Amino acid sequence: MKQHTKHILQFIVTAFAVTLFFSCQDNYSEIQKLSYSKRFPVGEAENMFLVYTDSGKVKSTLRSPYNKDFSNQQFPFMEFPNGIILEFFDEQNNKSVVTSDYAILYSDTRLVDLQGNVVLTTHDGNVLEAPQLYWDQDKEWIFTEGKFKWSNEYGVLLQGTNGIDFNRDLTIIDAHEIYDSTIPIDEKDK
């Protein structure tokens, strides 16, 4: 009888341990679900207007109807889901403007990803259009890896499919693959 009671007691302890193990496992998966962090912004702003100055001079301005600040993420960024208008000013205070339907500014790398109907217009009449454009703020370098259309006030037109990169003033340009170009020739140059 003593042997029989010992087996029953072992069975009860084993059943209790197995039940406890499976219930802990289930709770652990629930805790994992709770700790899964979704991307929630730390702040939001409407009708945003930022001014960037250096030594008392305005270098650029940024306007956006709506902004989400994700500086609480491991790779912090600011999202502009309704587009932006960026204005850049050179040393002579000439203004160039960039517009896009959507933008992300990555805080750590200072890279801006502009998407959707991106148009860059410089103070001297250069216009660059692309579906997506990147701007490296530190190097003041702009590039795209997709299609683009570039024109200027003299009627020069370049179109490509494989990207272009250039400095902020569009004075240094490297078009990777051009499929169409137009360069007007004056009658006296013929």
pLDDT tens profile 132-153? 999 888 888 888 888 888 888 8
DSSP state of 93: -
CA distance linking residue 112 with residue 105, whole number of Å: 4
pLDDT at 124 (0 to 100): 86
Q: What is the pLDDT of residues 6-41, one digit of tens each?
A: 556 565 656 555 555 555 555 555 555 554 456 788
Residue pLDDT, tens place only, 156-190: 777 888 888 888 766 777 777 666 556 655 655 55
The H or E element spanning position 35 is helix 2-35
Cα–Cα separations (whole angstroms), residue 132 to 81, 95, 123, 183: 14, 21, 21, 25
Helices (runs of H) and strands (runs of E) counted in the chain: 1, 14
Give the rounded percent of residues in the chain with a pLDDT score beyond 70: 71
Rounding to the nearest 10 degrees, give the CA dihedral for residues 59, 74, 80, 106: 30
- Digit-coded pLDDT (tens) for 33-73: 554 456 788 899 999 998 988 888 898 899 999 999 999 88
What does the CA dihedral 128, 134, 137, 139 come to, rounded to 10 degrees?
-80
- Taking the C-alpha atoms of residue 168 and residue 153, their distance in angstroms, rounded to an integer, is 17
In a 10 Å sphere around its CB, with 0-12 CB exposed, 13-18 middle and 19+ buried, how is residue 184 labelled? Answer: exposed
